[in-house]
Amino acid sequence: MTTPPRKDLSVLTALAFKDNYLWLIHDGVNAAVVDPGEAAPIRAALAAHKLRLTAILLTHHHADHIGGVPALLDEWSVPVFGPRSDDIDAVTEPLGQGDRITVPGIDLALEVLDVPGHTLGHIAYVRRDAGAEWLFCGDTLFGAGCGRLFEGTPAQMADSLQQLAQLPDETLVYCAHEYTLSNLRFAQAVEPDNAVLAARAKSDGARRAADQPTIPSTIGLEKATNPFLRYGEPRIVQSLVEAGRLQPGATRVATFAALREWKNTF
């Protein structure tokens, strides 16, 4: 008996609203969607690529991530994977830290991480295949930024981001919004002497000018440029102190909280 050749998986980008990315993971025949805030862009992408929807994956309960679920379920009878504790009625496969799933229809194994902060029940999905590590992190880690703390504490969000930072550097980061350029302006204001950051601002600026997404980025690039993974850096602490937003000698969590607070009004 021979094993059928493994079909390579790809990730398609569907746009929704002003700046949401909906991710469609497919093998050329079947597809799973991550965070379908709207059904129409997913329907259009499935039709354009002649794909069959076999699963829905959700990261958290916000409407711009789940709004399209009922309409998709009207058309496709598929399981809905999602956080165990984020109050989403449509979830049929509740998940939490350490759970491992095989996405129906496509050859995709994912591990689940709890990443509270933006919402309390927020989860992320990680594909750990060597050479094809992917992270679907919703509104937790963004290109050069992180999600707002609507429900969780700064300590929870700092821990969640730290957990993501421990993934391999080459892991592709599929976050749910195109906020990168705005985040990079803040990052450069708090860490003006970071050369990797300056280079990223230039290349991502060129991408957006050409109407290209800046996402996915990588964990390695985020670790080198994202202030919410770098708040222990002396230059960032200095910026916070100079801005009168932090006392010298403050704890790491206080530093993270002050940085997040500053970005809210930047």
Positions touching Zn ion (CB under 5 A) are 62, 139
61 is an active site residue: no
From the list 35, 86, 114, 139, the catalytic residue is: 139
Nearer to Zn ion, 43 or 65 (CB): 65
From the list 26, 60, 61, 122, the catalytic residue is: 60
| Cα–Cα nearest to 103, from 26, 2, 47 | 26
Compute the least distance from the CB of residue 148 to Zn ion, in Å: 8
CB 150 within 8 A of CB 119: yes
65 is an active site residue: yes
Compute the least distance from the CB of residue 62 to Zn ion, in Å: 3
CB 102 within 8 A of CB 113: no
From the list 62, 114, 122, 204, the catalytic residue is: 62
Nearer to Zn ion, 62 or 127 (CB): 62
35 is an active site residue: no
64 is an active site residue: yes
Nearer to Zn ion, 142 or 237 (CB): 142
Nearer to Zn ion, 43 or 62 (CB): 62
Compute the least distance from the CB of residue 47 to Zn ion, in Å: 27
Task: Tell me which residue has tokens 């000698």.
Answer: 249
62 is an active site residue: yes
Alpha carbons 54 and 186: distance in angstroms, whole number: 39
Alpha carbons 246 and 253: distance in angstroms, whole number: 11
Compute the least distance from the CB of residue 164 to Zn ion, in Å: 16
CB 175 within 8 A of CB 215: yes
177 is an active site residue: yes
49 is an active site residue: no
Distances (CA, A) of 39 to 59, 64, 76, 201, 231: 16, 11, 11, 32, 38
Nearer to Zn ion, 54 or 226 (CB): 226
Task: Give the contacts of 237 (CB within 8 A, at least 6 positions apart).
Answer: 231, 246, 250, 255
CB 70 within 8 A of CB 47: no
From the list 26, 27, 61, 64, the catalytic residue is: 64
Q: Which residues are known catalytic residues?
A: 60, 62, 64-65, 118, 139, 177
